[in-house]
């Protein structure tokens, strides 16, 4: 608890009602997140791996905004090992990116070992994706289907930890497939037995996708059951939610996903409150526009002008969400093909408008639908089986990715 003298002044705080009285961190209340022997993260905050989002340009923007550890989007080990161009591009990072953190997606222990052996020398952190709920992935026994088979999970993790040497390996899971197929306890046990540096739990099942509210109680329970650090994930929309999650669950760090889409300054706010300072108000449109232009420039530098600008369209929509007139602006933004178009589209907004309170908790990606999770046929018959499933993607699919990369 914070005593009265340390209670920060909350008047005028830009937060929704639930967060108006959340105190900033008091000195020594939280520790840096220690991953393995070498990696110490302050504040204990990670940018979540997000496909199509946490590419090198966005990671660098978040890093410049104060994010201390930015995980890459999931990199498919098989595609990388087979030389897929897009996968290699996404697995690259800026020369000065430190720490370098990659998320790997694979359901094959040999592939994981091979990939990590080649990747590990230049990398500071490796995360393994055991939470992906996408039908294309679970149908072939990947992502969130893997923890259903704890011995398979253990085999993959053992290879990863062995190949990574001193580089810390973490795993990222959901609560399970559905409420009657929960896997987080087994995942926690395997993670500590096989030497993972931490486990990240997104408090939803694969069946829930992104619907409903993340179940922070499951994070508390994993913290209580686990001998390794637990990272909490799910529904941190405002910087204050991160403090609430850490206080309520006892987790050692938080993982931020959708809230930073079009709000990279969230990391600056997080850095402030973990250091005991008030974060101040979020930027106005006048201050956000240069951030958007900067982001577009970074995307174009990385992907090339055409693909970079096409990628920028969704970001433009996320950045302007909730501002007056944003629906009209959106119509132009989804068509922009160069920086001038983008600047012209943004001129329609009122430069003096401040950030809308409602936009703080607005979901910018992924809807609210649920799903029935598709598993391989007879997958549940033998959960002791540790045979790697067929795996993630076909050669044809990889070729299609590269076609998209070359503008096809």
Ligand X SMILES: Cc1cc2nc3c(=O)[nH]c(=O)nc-3n(C[C@H](O)[C@H](O)[C@H](O)COP(=O)(O)O)c2cc1C
Which residues of the shown chain bind ligand X in the complex (CB under 6 A)?
Answer: 48-53, 73-74, 103, 129, 131, 172, 202, 233-236, 256-259, 365-366
Q: How far is the CB of 299 from ligand X (least distance, A)?
A: 15
Q: How far is the CB of 187 from ligand X (least distance, A)?
A: 13
Q: How far is the CB of 291 from ligand X (least distance, A)?
A: 19
Evaluate whether 282 touches 298 at the Cβ level (below 8 Å).
no
Task: Tell me the C-alpha distance between 371 and 353, whole Å.
Answer: 38
Q: How far is the CB of 333 from ligand X (least distance, A)?
A: 18
Question: Which is nearer to ligand X, 173 or 300 (by Cβ)?
Answer: 173
Verify cis geometry, omega within 30 degrees of 0, for the bond prior to 338.
no
Burial class (CB in 10 A: 0-12, 13-18, 19+), 369: exposed
Place of tokens 């401040």: 354
Burial string for 150-184 (b: 16+ CB within 10 Å, else e) reads bebbbbbbbbbbbbbeebbbbbbbbbbbbeebbbb
Q: How far is the CB of 235 from ligand X (least distance, A)?
A: 5
DSSP SS3 for 183? coil
Question: Which is nearer to ligand X, 175 or 298 (by Cβ)?
Answer: 175
Which residues touch 14 (CB under 8 Å, ≥6 apart)?
A: 281, 282, 355, 357
132 is catalytic: yes
Position with the least CB separation from ligand X: 257
From the list 50, 115, 49, the residue with the least C-alpha distance to 83 is 115
Q: How far is the CB of 172 from ligand X (least distance, A)?
A: 5
Tokens of 366: 């992924």
Question: Which is nearer to ligand X, 49 or 168 (by Cβ)?
Answer: 49
From the list 255, 257, 266, the residue with the least C-alpha distance to 229 is 255
From the list 67, 41, 71, the residue with the least C-alpha distance to 54 is 71
Which residues touch 402 (CB under 8 Å, ≥6 apart)?
A: 84, 85, 86
Question: Which is nearer to ligand X, 208 or 226 (by Cβ)?
Answer: 208
Q: How far is the CB of 202 from ligand X (least distance, A)?
A: 4
Of 62, 70, 132, 260, the catalytic one is: 132
Task: Tell me the C-alpha distance between 344 and 362, whole Å.
Answer: 25
Burial class (CB in 10 A: 0-12, 13-18, 19+), 211: middle
Task: Find the helix packing angle between 326-333 and 305-320, rounded to 10°.
Answer: 170
Q: How far is the CB of 133 from ligand X (least distance, A)?
A: 9
Please report which helix (H) or strand (E) contains residue 314, including its range: helix 305-320
Question: Which is nearer to ligand X, 22 or 201 (by Cβ)?
Answer: 201
Question: Which is nearer to ligand X, 66 or 257 (by Cβ)?
Answer: 257
Which residues touch 197 (CB under 8 Å, ≥6 apart)?
A: 35, 36, 39, 168, 169, 170, 228, 229
Question: Which is nearer to ligand X, 216 or 302 (by Cβ)?
Answer: 216
The set of catalytic residues is 132
């Amino acid at each position: 608890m914070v005593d009265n003298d340390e209670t920060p002044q909350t008047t005028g705080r830009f937060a929704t009602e639930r967060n108006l009285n959340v105190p900033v961190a008091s000195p020594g209340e939280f520790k840096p997140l220690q991953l393995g022997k070498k990696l110490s993260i302050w504040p204990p905050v990670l940018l979540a791996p997000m496909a199509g989002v946490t590419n090198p340009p966005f990671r660098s923007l978040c890093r410049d905004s104060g994010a201390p550890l930015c995980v890459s989007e999931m990199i498919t080990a098989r595609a990388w090992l087979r030389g897929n161009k897009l996968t290699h591009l996404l697995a690259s990072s800026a020369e000065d990116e430190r720490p370098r953190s990659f998320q790997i997606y694979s359901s094959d222990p040999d592939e994981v070992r091979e990939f990590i052996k080649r990747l590990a020398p230049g990398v500071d952190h490796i995360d393994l994706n055991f939470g992906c709920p996408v039908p294309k992935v679970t149908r072939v026994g990947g992502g969130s289907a893997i923890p259903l088979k704890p011995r398979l999970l253990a085999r993959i993790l053992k290879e990863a930890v062995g190949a990574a040497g001193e580089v810390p390996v973490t795993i990222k899971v959901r609560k399970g497939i559905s409420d009657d197929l929960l896997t987080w306890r087994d995942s926690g046990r395997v993670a500590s037995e096989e030497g993972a540096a931490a486990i990240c739990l997104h408090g939803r099942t694969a069946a829930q996708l992104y619907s409903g509210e993340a179940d922070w109680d499951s994070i508390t329970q994993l913290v209580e059951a686990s001998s390794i650090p637990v990272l909490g994930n799910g529904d941190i929309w405002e910087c204050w939610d991160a403090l609430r999650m850490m206080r309520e669950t006892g987790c050692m760090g938080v993982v931020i996903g959708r809230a930073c889409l079009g709000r990279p300054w969230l990391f600056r706010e997080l850095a402030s409150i973990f250091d005991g300072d008030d974060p101040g108000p979020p930027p106005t449109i006048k201050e956000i526009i240069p951030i958007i232009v900067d982001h577009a420039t970074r995307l174009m530098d990385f992907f090339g002008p055409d693909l970079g600008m096409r990628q920028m369209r969704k970001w433009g929509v996320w950045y302007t969400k909730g501002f007056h007139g944003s629906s009209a602006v959106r119509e132009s933004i989804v068509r922009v093909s160069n920086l001038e178009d983008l600047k012209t589209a943004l001129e329609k907004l009122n430069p003096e408008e401040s950030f809308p309170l409602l936009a703080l908790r607005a979901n910018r990606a992924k809807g609210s639908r649920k799903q029935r999770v598709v598993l391989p046929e007879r997958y549940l018959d033998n959960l002791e089986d540790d045979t790697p499933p067929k795996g993630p993607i076909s050669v044809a699919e990889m070729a299609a990715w590269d076609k998209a990369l070359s503008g096809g």
